[in-house]
Chains A and B, each alone.
Chain A
């Protein structure tokens, strides 16, 4: 009976202590959540941009013969024209188009019409990025070479478009 007041006081102190912990925790959690949400939103913006560039590339008449079918001669001619492509699709992105033929990567070179190469790369640089891949085709005018002529060939391929993460300067 003698300690009743003290015990009640202790209880109130402990309860108050827990309430303070919970309030601090809420503040901490809300701050972390806000930061994470901002990062997720930033990622979403980059994803949307990558997707947008991808959708525009697969129909761009500078690169395709018909929707989602890239023309190898157009691809080769645009290889060293990153600046021109950036005017069309914006900056800070890259694109890769690769024929799926089970062979190792043989990069195509600008100005060289090589029917063995299978990889076209545009505007690639070092850095972290968000990317999307899509199945497409590559149309090669010089597909089959016979004595009686040349027959075009359509290859299965993929396009990968990435948007570089923005870094603070």
Chain B
């Protein structure tokens, strides 16, 4: 009889202990949930604006060369898709200069925002048949970003040139993601 009572008392103590542990776990969960609401997140609106301005800023910047077709970064990008080989200032091929300048500007802007990853892509628009254009894709930056299934922001622009009566249309995009 005494043994049975002692067993009941022990069981009751264990039940109380389990209830207390369960309550503590529940409260910890609630606290973590509440704290997650307080976390500050950089708004998607800002990242979107940043990506579009970054792309525009790179395309509109000067390259340092003054010959026609080489003045702006957008000019040298268009020139690098041309079948006719052209050297800016008779020194550097368009594609090399385009890669150099885009890489440089991405690095410089990357120093301002070190928590972002960037990928810059240029390809001919498939809807318009452009004669005298290389069928290639120019990729500069973190190429792994293209296939990764993470939250990304994509900004798009177009470069349009008319040369010898035919239209060249290039799709330019920049993919931005947080590190």
Residues of B within 8 A of A113 (CB): none
Partner of A11, one of B16, B53, B109: B16
* Cα distance A33–B113 in the bound complex, in angstroms: 31
Residues of B within 8 A of A102 (CB): 108
* Cα distance A15–B12 in the bound complex, in angstroms: 12
B148 interface residue, CB < 8 Å from A? no
B2 interface residue, CB < 8 Å from A? yes
**Known A7-B9, A11-B16, A100-B108; contact A134-B61, beta-carbon cutoff 8 A:** no
Task: Pick from B44-52, B85-93, B129-137, B163-171 the stretch touching chain A.
Answer: B44-52
Tell whether, in the assembled complex, residue B108 and residue A4 are in contact, meaning their CB atoms are under 8 Å apart.
no
Task: Give 1 or 0 for each of A1-17: 1 = CB within 8 Å of chain B CB.
Answer: 10010010001001100
Residues of B within 8 A of A1 (CB): 1-2, 5
Residues of B within 8 A of A134 (CB): 49-50, 53
Those of A57-74 within 8 Å (CB) of chain B: 58, 68-69
Those of A2-40 within 8 Å (CB) of chain B: 4, 7, 11, 14-15, 18, 22, 25-26, 29, 33, 36-37, 40
- Smallest beta-carbon distance B62→chain A, Å: 5
Residues of A within 8 A of B160 (CB): none
Tell whether, in the assembled complex, residue B57 and residue A137 are in contact, meaning their CB atoms are under 8 Å apart.
yes
- Smallest beta-carbon distance B109→chain A, Å: 6
Interface residues on A, range: 35 or more
* Cα distance A61–B31 in the bound complex, in angstroms: 49
Those of A118-157 within 8 Å (CB) of chain B: 132-137, 143-144, 151, 153-157
Task: Give 1 or 0 for each of B92-134: 1 = CB within 8 Å of chain A CB.
Answer: 0000000000000100110011000000000000000000000
Task: Give 1 or 0 for each of B40-68: 1 = CB within 8 Å of chain A CB.
Answer: 10010110011001101110111000100
Residues of A within 8 A of B50 (CB): 133-135
Tell whether, in the assembled complex, residue A4 and residue B57 are in contact, meaning their CB atoms are under 8 Å apart.
no
A43 interface residue, CB < 8 Å from B? yes
* Cα distance A131–B66 in the bound complex, in angstroms: 36
For B, the interface residue count at a CB cutoff of 8 angstroms equals: 35
* Cα distance A98–B40 in the bound complex, in angstroms: 27
- Smallest beta-carbon distance A44→chain B, Å: 8
Tell whether, in the assembled complex, residue B16 and residue A135 are in contact, meaning their CB atoms are under 8 Å apart.
no
- Smallest beta-carbon distance B2→chain A, Å: 6
A55 interface residue, CB < 8 Å from B? yes
* Cα distance A157–B58 in the bound complex, in angstroms: 10
B23 interface residue, CB < 8 Å from A? yes
Tell whether, in the assembled complex, residue B108 and residue A22 are in contact, meaning their CB atoms are under 8 Å apart.
no
The 5 closest A-B pairs by CB, nearest first: A135-B57, A156-B61, A135-B54, A135-B53, A100-B108
Instruction: List 16 additional contacts besides A22-B23, A102-B108; criterion CB under 8 Å.
Output: A1-B5, A15-B16, A18-B20, A40-B38, A44-B40, A47-B43, A68-B56, A133-B112, A135-B112, A137-B61, A153-B62, A154-B60, A155-B61, A156-B61, A156-B105, A157-B57
Give me the interface of B with A, judged by CB distance under 8 Å. Answer: 1-2, 5, 9, 12-13, 16, 20, 23, 27, 31, 34, 37-38, 40, 43, 45-46, 49-50, 53-54, 56-58, 60-62, 66, 72, 105, 108-109, 112-113
